[in-house]
Amino acid sequence: MIVAPAIPPSQETVAVVAAHVARARPARGSRAVVRVTARRPITEARTVLPVLAHAVDARGAPWLRVRLPGRTLGAPATARTGWIVAARTRPGRTGWHVVVDVDARRVSAYRAGRRVRHWTATVGDRATPTPRGAYFVEENVRLDGGRTAGPFALATSARSAVLQEFASGPGQIALHGRDGIGGPLGVAASHGCVRLSDGAVRWLAGRLPPGVPVTIR
């Protein structure tokens, strides 16, 4: 019997106050991985990243290893971490964590390490699977007026390993509603995104800010 790893009670985060160049190592001369902007492209909300480790460089400057939004440069699709200088960031913490169980087609919300809600979901089909890994919520997007995938979408740092672009976007994976899409829940039928009932996605959107960890397994 396979036992799922425990969900930690909280996650350290950092808000990006100004643009940073994330690097492969905690040193200014190391390889650049990606440029991280201070605001997200859809909502213009502050960029908030999960923090994985701390380090100090040869000059005594503190650095943070963080999960990164989007696709990284010169790295495989699953390698979405890098080091940024701690200057021009603001520390934070969240007790929320979302787990997507692809095989069970279920989404669970955890708070302080304990599961508080779970819902049936639609996941990616065989040709366009939902990518597994450790990600986070990039943006909490309200989709008014019956817009497709409304009423809300939690845009994550996950990107499709199959689609480099979809619907004029970067192949970004989101947990979203079914407005304009329909179809049953509990099946593998999406292009990689995770579809939820209106009640489920409203509940999540009302509680989860950017930076919340999302584990897809």
The residue written with tokens 């790893």 in the block is 5
181 and 108 housed in the same domain? yes
5 falls within a domain: no
Check: CB of residue 99 under 8 Å from CB of residue 215.
yes
pLDDT of residue 79: 52
Structure tokens at 86: 């701690």
85 and 100 housed in the same domain? no
1 falls within a domain: no
Query: Number of folded domains in the chain?
Result: 2
pLDDT of residue 72: 52
Among 209, 39, 197, 207, smallest CA distance to 122 is for 197
15 falls within a domain: yes
Q: What is the domain range of residue 24? A: 11-94
53 falls within a domain: yes
Residue finishing a domain among 42, 64, 94: 94
Q: How many CA atoms lie within 13 A of 36 on its CB side?
A: 31
Question: Each residue's pLDDT tens digit in the chain (217 positions)?
Answer: 555 678 999 999 999 999 999 999 999 999 998 899 999 988 999 999 999 999 999 999 999 999 999 765 444 444 589 999 999 999 999 999 999 999 999 999 999 999 999 999 999 999 999 999 999 999 999 987 667 888 999 999 998 877 554 454 557 899 999 988 878 999 999 989 999 999 999 999 999 999 999 999 9
58 and 82 housed in the same domain? yes
d(CA 203, CA 116): 11
Which residues make Cβ contacts (< 8 Å) with residue 107, sequence separation at least 6?
A: 98, 99, 100, 101, 118, 119, 121, 175, 194, 196, 200
Structure tokens at 121: 């979901």
Question: pTM for this one?
Answer: 0.91
56 and 90 housed in the same domain? yes
d(CA 208, CA 116): 13
Q: What is the CATH number of the domain that holds 39?
A: 2.30.30.40
